[in-house]
Structure 1
Amino acid sequence: MKVSDQKTAEGILFTDQYQLSMAQLYYRMGLHEKLVQFDYFFREYPDYGAHKAGYCINAGLEWLLDWMQDAHFRDEDIEYLRHQTGRLGARVFADDFLAWLRANGSFDAISMRAIPEGRVVHPNVPLTVVQGPLAMAQILETSLLNHLNYQTLIATKAARIRDVGRGQLLLEFGLRRGQGKGANAGARAALIGGADFTSNVGISYVLGYPPKGTHAHSMVQVFIALGASELDAFRAYADVYPDDCLLLVDTINTLASGVPNAIKVFEELRRQGHEPVGIRLDSGDLAYLSIQAAKMLDAAGFPQTSIVLSNDLDELAIWQILTQISEEAPRYGVDPDRLVGRLAYGVGTRLITSHGEPALGGVYKLVAVQNHGAWLPAIKISESPQKTPNPGHKHVWRVYDE
């Protein structure tokens, strides 16, 4: 997308058409500057099918505020709206309304109260409370939901993965599988939720994190295609990155080739005064391969090297791996707790897409209107009781047990 088009698509017009239609109606009725309150909340925890969350992690607020500070109706936006026509060719937006938008179409008059990012949150509790003039508070709805719903969803998934992984190193690997540039927001949310690092270089730079990664199978493949070997590929990587050597060992055969070749390179590194970081397993029975790889590394004198697992991991897959390790490792003379303590997890697709629950049902509901200095509750009566919001001007309190 061209930069000029991006400014249009992601600026103040990053909203739904009906928000603008309602804003013009409010203007025509003289209601556009009436002070109102909207509450943002979600109704249900994410349900992944085979398992369900029991909490969410609030995220997305900072990027929403950044967007709000920059978003305003530019001349180009007003001209675009001026040329919109309805079903029979009549103009949709009148000149006086557009003039008002050009002069007042920013979020400067909006105030917000919100639960900080990174906090545990629960259904039907206002996470963000918006107060301000009706027209602009209405226009804000779509972007607010877009910014907060997705990041809260991904932060929640990351927190669950972190928890089931027993606090071991968690790497976010989802950039190639994310929905377009939304993967940047997803990586940020994953870091809020519990990921230690991300492979996403750009967002790591923006957020002040060092990006993390190893190498792909293609590195080994190109050596083999040119007549060299997996061992040659590993040696080349170790030569370039002697103090950050973590080798992907499943390109050919994990236990017959990859791990033995990695051990040879690790021994060479040690003789040169360097300590290897570890290996990565990206296919097969990850629990069994972790046990066998740990046994081989221990026997070779590398009991501290990390074993990074990847390949369609999520909280359920990691739980299954850890359960299998606890049951099977003792049979092979491997201490399961020590093995789990050297594991790390590279989680991509199932984190960045929130596999099993692709969207958080966050909503933005009008709950109060100020009239003559008094707040009047506004309520929606629905055929579905769960869609009836808690109306009125209110505050959120969290009470802790001692």
Structure 2
Amino acid sequence: MARRKPNQAFDIAVVGGGPSGRIAALTLAREDFKTVLVAPNPVGMDGRTTALWQKSIALLEKVGVWAPLESKTTPLRKMRMIDDTNRLVRSPEVVFDSNELGIECFGFNILNNDLNLVLEELCRRQDNLTIVEESVQAAHFGSDLVELQTTDGQSVKARLVVAADGRNSLIRETARIDVRRWAYPQEAVVLNLEHTLPHRDISTEFHTPTGPFTLVPLPGRKSSLVCVETAEGARRLLAMEDEDLALELERRAHSVLGKFKLATKPQSFPLAGLTATRFSANRLVLIGEAAHVFPPIGAQGLNLTLRDIMDLERILIMAKAKHQDPGAKTVLETYEAKRTSDIHSRTRAVDALNRSLLTDFLPVQVARSAGMYFAGKIGPFRRLLMREGMAPGSLFRLNR
């Protein structure tokens, strides 16, 4: 980790210490951009998990994150979807199998805490990366540089700022980028479980009237759970004793993994969505939840963020080859054009799927059931859905 010199100006300043900010900082520093990561020390443990698709794993391999993580992850070889709505029109069960695409698995499930610890260590060891362990309290966007002022009075200057400071981004607000926000009448209850039957690397998602109930494999006979409920339903679950909650969750899972035992304490958070009206401004780009937020459905959140980073990396490498300023207007316009379609299409798809589970409007139920029926019966359509789910709109070759 480099030490910052007085009045040193950086090529790129990344603001935000979550996985998106740290992966962006590592990626850009390894491409020989003089990079600074401005983020306070992380506090507390994160027992949640993240499923990463193969294209995302390729980026983690490139920046050295994957090797120390791989032994702590679980492959996702199959994805099983079951309609548990008990409505008049129900979808048939569908199984997406990675073997159909000629690959060993769709991706891997990772404990967020394991990912965070590896990222923190690699950032501290990365050449060409300076870390300022403070929060940003103000930003001033000039014609040539951006000046960030931290809570302890430091001044950090850079030619380009990458805002990875979350859904309530101070950087985005300072740049006067508007957002569209919306809320769902749902909360997600998340925890990790031990179970008596093996998961066989199969992720199982029950579609219920309140939203998805998803079990994703972890090492051994463990799985992570995301149970989407109404706010009242979430409160009832959180009020239960551990043994009663385990029995209730096992009932909802139809005992597909045998008996349950809680491995972590349950947490809950309300579901909401956010999309920035634009993804760049003067010497600024947005990535991650500073740019887009949607419900935890289909493991799209961090995977979409990593596509933000991959596109930004490619654009900056091309700009560097042409001796362009990384904060130049043409660079920002290219990033804006590249990310807009992917972010908007992914947000619409997740929103539509979530709302289709909540509605009692019969034509929507019929349309969702028809889509699942065709996915189960028509191989080319099913494989198209699988490819698009992992690498939407790309020509990425899945050859692992």
User: TM tier, shorter chain?
Assistant: under 0.3
Larger fraction in helix? 1
TM-score (norm 2): 0.22
After TM superposition, the score normalised by the length of structure 1 is: 0.22
Structure holding more strand per residue: 2
- Structure with higher Rg: it is 1
